[in-house]
Chain A
Amino acid sequence: MKILIDGIEIEAQFGETILEVARRTGIHIPTLCYHEAFGGQGSCRFCMVEVTKNGSSRIVASCTYPVNDGIEVKTSTPQIDKIRRNIAMLLYKRAPNSLFMQTLYKEHLCTENNLVEDPHEKCILCRLCVNACATMGASAISTVMRGTDKRVATPYDDASAVCIGCAACAEVCPTGCIEVQEDNNIRRIWNQDFTLVACEECGKNFATREQLAYIMDKSKQDAPATELRFCENCRRKVLARKLETFNG
């Protein structure tokens, strides 16, 4: 099917979302709670676009809206810009300690107001970290409480028995809210210490012991395979070397 995004005609497939089509065409739609690994959540509403079909238009979240034939999408109109400005303002007021939100607040030319700020807060509750943890298979963190008290945490804020210290949560966090401290070969995350394992080739710390044990358990290996002894870069080198001798 053919759809129009900002006046450009694009061939789209059934089942794709507007955001996916726009991203692969190189049209920028700003997002906060979206990550290509988990798909759209539609919770931050930052990716709102205007969709016109048969003469009537509506504002939708592009990350969850499936394309359909003949739609015309506008990614930036005065109305949408206003919505984004409002979201940027409200989320900044929620998480003013985040550098990312401070930048967003300035970029969207938000006007001053007297909403109360929590000067320490960095989290915008996009849930990307919770999704990342579930996808990794640990599900050590979740959102707890509700309403204004809602936050992301491990059960009872204790060290979690299932956390593998992979720091995927910190990796996907858009606002840099999740703290990971690394001191020599110790990584501290979610009130828990993990021992880091060094790459046998270059000596760089690349994973936690628990993370490797988890992978071994999942893939039913007894001893660490080649992939688990080297960091990502060295893994490629080692495999390439293997292929060399294989050919020779």
Chain B
Amino acid sequence: METDALITNESEELDAIINKYPGEKRYIMAIMHDLSRHFNYLPRPALEATARHAGVPFSQVYSMATFYKAFSLVPRGKVHFKVCDGTTCHIKGSQIIIDEIYSRLNIKPGETTADLQFSLETVNCIGACALAPALLANGKVHPRLNAAGVRQVIAEYGGPEYGKKE
């Protein structure tokens, strides 16, 4: 995958992040959190470097990275949508939000647009049931959305015409 190859600049940044921590097994989670924050996902070379640094088999680091939902192994977009699909949001129409995002941006939960602008995931409950159905865009809550509201949110983050070209 092309996105897996890091450019020189990035591999320096990668080393800087990893070398902040001692080369021990117990720092793997902390390293992966930092990497995830920096790259917006966990690139393969970063995981391999983490394994080398901590002195554990790559398979074990990969196992940890796939175990936690907080980590993504595919690039996330600049704007990361979290659609709440908890009971209340589900009943109040979270599927409408997911469908509208799909029809506008052509991404399903877990996917990212080709230009890395948007990505989408569903979460089980964000604790904002009174605002159902809710959408988090980079952590900002957009309450009581309908299809028109979703179009507005997408426009807010990428221009009103976004998605029509495709």
Which A residues are closer than 8 A to B by beta carbons?
A: 134, 138-146, 154-156, 160-162
Contacts and interface: CB of A to CB of B under 8 A. Distances in A.
A63 to B, nearest CB: 23
Interface SS of chain B: helix, strand, loop or mixed?
helix
A162 B57 contact: yes
8 tightest A-B CB contacts, nearest first = A139-B57, A155-B62, A142-B63, A142-B59, A144-B66, A146-B67, A145-B66, A139-B59
A134 B56 CA distance: 11
Interface residues of B, number: 10
Interface string B43-77: 01001000000000111101100110000000000
Contacts of B60: 139, 142
A134 B59 CA distance: 10
A143 B63 CA distance: 6
Contacts of B59: 139-142, 154-155, 160, 162
26 contacts: A134-B57, A138-B57, A139-B60, A140-B57, A140-B59, A142-B57, A142-B59, A142-B62, A142-B63, A143-B63, A144-B62, A144-B63, A144-B66, A145-B66, A145-B67, A146-B67, A155-B47, A155-B58, A155-B62, A156-B44, A156-B62, A160-B59, A161-B58, A162-B57, A162-B58, A162-B59
B97 to A, nearest CB: 24
A139 B63 CA distance: 11
A34 B3 CA distance: 41
